[in-house]
Copies of this chain bind each other. A is one copy, B any other.
Amino acid sequence: MARIVQKFGGTSVGDLDRIRNVARRVKSEVDAGNEVAVVVSAMSGTTNKLVEWARDIGPLHDAREYDTIVATGEQVTVGLLAIALQNIGVDARSWLGWQIPFKTDDVHGAARIEEIQAEEIKTRLAAGQVAVIAGFQGIGPDGRITTLGRGGSDTSAVAMAAALDADRCDIYTDVDGVYTTDPRIMPKARKLSQITFEEMLEMASAGAKVLQTRSVAMAMRHNVHLQVRSSFNEEPGTLVVDEEQIMENQKISGIAYSNDEAKVTLAGLPDKPGIAAEIFGMLADAHVNVDMIVQTAATSGSQTDITFSLGALDLPKAESLLTEARDRLGFESLQSDSNVAKVSIVGTAMRSQPGIAKQMFEVLAQKGINLQVISTSEIKISVLIESAYTELAVRALHDAFTLETA
């Protein structure tokens, strides 16, 4: 007997038939003698519609009211799933964020979890009742509804698993696991049976959409045993595990990409100490997330160029902030390009095999792909390239690193 948290996303609960299907998946864990808590998202499309209403009603935006509105999506799903479970003979009740309570700070729209009081739910799980928990939502210090931000249901599930001391947290989604890369652009992509937390974290932040970065970080911190699997078939999925649990990795684990990137180059900056801190401090204050940064050596003695990448959505804000500050920063020109993509290879194998970066650059060079920016971490190498080459780069790297075979 184990205590399990199951999480089902928006497409898995997209209509009444799919909710009944989820109920059957829950029942099979109950029938196997397990205690089950289920965390669900809003029915797919619902959150988008609610967000659109909350935006369209007026330009002034109260994030507390926004949260009150969008949290209804999950509230509907938990009620429907609880009824669906009862209808197939499973004792179940719904739990809203404020009922648990699932306490967060007061940063509405992107709240951080502070404390989950799970004693009552533990008691009911032990008595055989399934807890159907609304993902994505909590209650702030002033008693108002908060939300965790997009993809927050993964985080809710992991946090509930930690609070419940669950033996496993299964993330059910519309893909059946974590792949070596996106199977839509590389048919030879292979499902991984295991991936380490660190790799999953790098894959998620490099653009792989299967799990939210924040939920992986939380799982790693609380040592929650994560599994990514399909809600539409019974195949085993991908286990996210500690590095010690994997014998030895000879290869990189996966290739991630992101097309939602942009690049900015500030040319002719005065080469003085503190100039980078000033630029990136200003952008950070405006909540512009800068990703990769390259500063070229000063060629004419007193001047330097800085190139950085950022999310394409943030480009207009960054451009206007930098243009306003041009006199103060003293750069000669600003060039921007949103026609770029980031391609990353991820794997703990890099730690022991220093030749991997060289191999990556050679493969891309052979295909005539120009590298605009490079950044590396201990287990990841990312390059910024012209976006038209994304698929070519992913396929070439997948072949070169023989990812189609385990």
Contact residues of A with B, CB < 8 Å? Answer: 16, 19-20, 50, 53-54, 56-62, 64-66, 68-69, 71-72, 75-76, 78-80, 82-84, 86-88, 93-94, 96, 98-99, 143-145
Contact = CB atoms under 8 A, between A and B. Distances in A.
A62 B80 contact: no
Contact of A99 (B20, B60, B144): B144
Contacts of A76: 50, 53, 69, 72
Nearest to A78: B68
Given A68-B94, A75-B75, A96-B68, A60 B80 contact: no
Contacts of A72: 72, 75-76
A229 to B, nearest CB: 24
Contacts of A87: 57-60
A56 B143 CA distance: 33
Given A59-B87, A60-B87, A87-B59, A80 B53 contact: yes
Contacts of A94: 65, 68
A99 B143 contact: yes
Contacts of A19: 57
B58 A82 contact: no
A179 to B, nearest CB: 33
Nearest to A85: B58
Nearest to A64: B93
A143 to B, nearest CB: 6
Q: Is the interface of A mostly helix, strand, loop or mixed?
A: helix
A79 B54 contact: yes
Given A99-B144, A143-B99, A79 B56 contact: no
Nearest to A89: B60
A145 B88 CA distance: 24
A96 B83 CA distance: 23
In the A-B complex, the 8 residue pairs with the smallest Cβ-Cβ separation, listed nearest first, are: A58-B87, A69-B79, A72-B72, A68-B79, A65-B79, A65-B82, A60-B87, A57-B83
Contacts of A144: 99
Contacts of A50: 76
A84 B69 CA distance: 13
Nearest to A49: B76
Contact of A57 (B16, B56, B99): B16
A93 to B, nearest CB: 7
27 contacts: A16-B56, A19-B57, A53-B76, A54-B80, A54-B83, A57-B80, A57-B83, A57-B84, A57-B87, A58-B83, A58-B84, A58-B87, A58-B88, A60-B83, A60-B87, A64-B93, A65-B80, A65-B82, A65-B86, A65-B93, A66-B79, A68-B78, A68-B82, A68-B96, A69-B76, A72-B76, A99-B144
Residue of A54, A58, A79 with most chain B CB atoms under a 10 A cut-off: A79
